[in-house]
Chain A
Amino acid sequence: MTRLEESGTFTVTSHERAWLKTMLAHPAAAEAFAADTLAKLREVLAPEAELDVARHLIEKARSRERQVYHPHLRPLRRLIAERQGVRLTYAVKDDREYTDHPGLPYKLEYSMVKREWYLLWYRLRQPSLMSTRLQKIRAFAAEPLDSHTAERAQQRIAEAIAARRTEAVIEIVPLYNAELSRILYAFSSFEKSVDYDSGGDLYRVRVSLLGDEIEYLLSKLRFLGRRVRVVQGDYLIHRMRESSAKALARYAEAEPEIEAAAPEERTS
């Protein structure tokens, strides 16, 4: 295979072309390509078969697909590739608008949970790392940055990401070790390592995440419920305690004396 790469031959199998043809049927294709590019692609792929996947595959618990492509994606990805600066006009949560803020864009991020694109950028005025929905960007234009400013901004980005990194340790309650696979699948979207103590048959998951990902981790912890417990991470522990107290308060308001044992929860 290494040789194939060295020889410089681009190989593409019919399976791969069939996959591409199938994906070009998605409405996102119209936003991703200029009309004549799309026409050319469809012509080249005309002799290929399409994959039968959709007919035989059912997707469950999928988020509604709001957005796969966004018109800003193409121009913004080019600014990032050219390491250009940008001048942004955008709105925030409460719809306040910020006009003409200079910054350096560094990544475009798709949230699989919210099914929506975000621009990750470094704001030069009131410096900070920003994550702005493409949907909320009202206008933008390339803004040439001198190389010194650009380099410094890149460095700040790396520092800010490192500073936001935090860790938590989550223990799998041994009673639920039989569900290990399911529990680890639920954590598989995080950067993590697992320790196993064979004496106590105890699994501990050390999750490394950025500060703004804590809410997502919390929703996973509530999702798994009593199967896991946070053993390191004061803020997470505080929030789990608060969650359970508040949830119980909701139920207590309605009917003060309900007591029942929950049966086992299984999906497989």
Chain B
Amino acid sequence: MAKESFDKEIQILRMLALTSGAFTRTQFAERLGISVHTFDKTIRRLKEVLGSMHQHLTQEQSREWSEAIRYSYYESADPLLLFLFRAKSVKASESYRLSLLLSAMDGQALTVMELLDICCSPPSDETATIEEMPMPDEKTIRSDVKYLESVGVIRKESAARPYRYRVNDDLLQALSPEELLDLYDYIDVMANTQLPSVQGYLLRDGLKKHLLRGQAQTHELEPFLYKYHYHSRVLDEAHLFTLLHAIEGRLRVRFLYFSPKSERSYASRNTNPLFERETEGKQQRTLPLKLVYDHQYGRWYLLGHGREGLRKYRLEGVTQIELEDAVDAAGYEDKQAELAEKLRYSWLIDTGKPVTVRARFYHTGLARNFVKERVLLQGQWGQIVEEDDEAFIYEIVVNGTTEIRPWLRSFGSSCEVLEPLQLRREMISEWKEIQSTYESI
């Protein structure tokens, strides 16, 4: 909601989360295409933000930074990477005034003039802090109120002038403590198992703090675990709402794209030509059509239409995104429909030629139910076409065999590819390679 762009912070966090301390500062900076100085500055800023969000972490700040955001399944139920989104939702420089306004509107409806009075005569224990803060004028308060109303945190009491505003906490007021716990659980489960997640995590975080201010103990609020989460995926949701907005409004977008295969993933936007450097990022202009989330790797894609036709981008490579002009509705819907048709048989996002893949799965012994269950669960639109006591045959039409191949291979010797012959040969060759790798160990 703040205008600030957190591209650089997100790139750094993602790399930290994925590589967990593999690189030195210099190596990091090199890979991000920024100077060591900028890297240090960004890390300092992240630490500040993190320190103000998670008080319990401040005493641990001496720990290595990568250690602090390291994924630890049994110790942390809070998605740590989320703090960046929290930082984003309220402008830091105004947080003092906004918090004063919000606590004033908590439980009572007030006019802008009444709020101005409160801001100019804060409670006595706050005077020490207020001395550093300039006295706000009516215009400032009006714009604050407008901002808080636009993000939905407060609402107008009635249509009568002068407008009176109050904190919009109907959600809390409507429910008993017992019901709030059910709500908290539901938010937790849905944020962890459904898409998108970030809004749910923020809501969970707010409600958790509210419950902790009441009777609840931390252990009471962390009864659930979720196994095998791609926790860095929340970072890739950073551009999600911008892109959804673009799709909804049929707007073209422009961004600097770093293909994930390039070594660098961020370019500093220097204005001084002396510092201008070659970057591997490419300026892209595209018309977003669909977003794809790939559960196999936990990754987001943007599918758009550009000058060369259909283009696919990984969201983690998208930075400095800007909205442009709108296109007309009729042509846009055609393009969307055409894309949907092309993706029908994509295991992930391959829009190549459809082929029929047939594989025999063996389900004898202990693995009996396990293999079949997994195929039924993960096999997308594929069907089991034949079955006996020893094995069953699974058949699916997919665009190309590249994307389904790792999945088939993950079954090990429980899966034998029958068709197409080319894929069968590739599997044999790859198993041979794996075998020779382990023979030498």
A residues at B contact (CB < 8 Å): 1-20, 23, 26, 28-29, 32-34, 37, 40-41, 43-45, 51-53, 56-64, 66, 68-69, 73-74, 77, 80-81, 83, 107-115, 120, 161, 178-179, 181-182, 184-186, 188-196, 198, 203, 216, 218-220, 222-226, 229-231, 237, 240-241, 243-251, 254, 258-263, 265-268
Contacts and interface: CB of A to CB of B under 8 A. Distances in A.
Interface stretch (B35-43, B188-196, B321-329): B188-196
Given A4-B95, A223-B410, A251-B427, A40 B174 contact: yes
B242 interface: no
Interface of B: 1, 17-23, 27, 52-53, 55, 70-74, 86-87, 89-90, 92, 95-96, 98-100, 102-103, 106, 151-153, 167-172, 174-175, 179, 182-183, 185-187, 189-190, 192-196, 199-200, 202-203, 206-207, 209-210, 213, 219-220, 223-232, 240-241, 244, 247-248, 259-261, 290-299, 312, 314, 316, 343, 346-350, 362, 373, 376-378, 380, 402-403, 405-407, 409-413, 415-416, 422, 424-435, 437-439, 441
B378 A263 contact: no
Given A8-B213, A223-B409, A229-B437, A268 B20 contact: no
- Residue in B232, B378, B422 whose Cβ sees the most chain A Cβ within 10 Å: B378
Closest 9 A/B residue pairs (Cβ): A14-B152, A246-B413, A19-B199, A260-B425, A194-B22, A244-B435, A262-B426, A81-B220, A223-B410
B291 A107 contact: no
A181 B260 contact: yes
Contacts, number: 374
A132 to B, nearest CB: 14
Contacts of B403: 267
B52 A37 contact: no
Contact of A1 (B90, B200, B228): B90
Contact of B224 (A77, A219, A261, A267): A77
B167 A11 contact: yes
B410 A220 contact: yes
B contacts with A: majority SS: helix
B406 A223 contact: yes
B103 A7 contact: yes
Nearest to A179: B261
A111 to B, nearest CB: 5
Contacts of A161: 74
A225 B297 contact: no
Nearest to B103: A7
A191 B21 CA distance: 13
